[in-house]
Amino acid sequence: MQIQTDAQVIVNARIEAVFDASTDCQNLPRFFTGYKEIPAITSAKTVDGLPLHEGSIRIVDNSDGSSIEEVIVSLKRPNTQRYELVKGFKPPFSWLVRVASGNWSYETLDTKTRVVWSFYFEIPNIFAYLVFRLAVQRPFQQAQEICLRNLKKYVEDNGDSI
């Protein structure tokens, strides 16, 4: 069973500036501040210390003490960023989700950029599915929306806007 959450934003900036800001590991704590029971990102880095690239392993530390390992599946500047969360979930999240992945797509709209962030959760059974739908889905989607608003504000406030 799969559950998908989506959020989008339009940023008054060039697509390259938006892509670069959103794929810089140092910015992730600034953008993903969590929401209710969804933990904030406190730090993120690649295992090899290099900028994000296809095949990178990114370690994301969260405010709940979890440390998530993500693999960058696709990184095509300035249009796509896809990643899979491969390990590090803490209970109760680990009881509800088997696999998770994210996809960010970027599209030029005249002088602006539309960012669409879709997140996919593979749920192991009907009980976990129902609990996730009732307790996690909406707060996670809110956290995504807040993240994209923070990205928009950061890029527009830092002179990358048109």
| Stated pTM of the model | 0.94
How much is the pLDDT for 160?
A: 55
Q: How far apart are CA 126 and CA 110, in angstroms?
A: 44
Low-confidence ranges of the chain (pLDDT < 50): 162
Go through the domains of the chain in sequence order and give each one's CATH number: 2-157 (3.30.530.20)
How much is the pLDDT for 91?
A: 84
How much is the pLDDT for 52?
A: 94
The tens digit of pLDDT for each residue in 116-147 reads 999 999 999 999 999 999 999 999 999 999 99
How much is the pLDDT for 93?
A: 86
Residue 62: which residues within 8 A CB-CB, separation 6 or more?
Answer: 34, 39, 40, 41, 42, 68
Long-range contacts of 133-138 (CB under 8 A, 24+ apart): 133/3, 135/37, 136/37, 136/38, 136/93, 136/96, 137/3, 137/5
Q: How far apart are CA 53 and CA 49, in angstroms?
A: 11
CA dist list (Å): 92 to 8, 38, 76, 98, 107: 27, 11, 34, 12, 36
How much is the pLDDT for 162?
A: 47
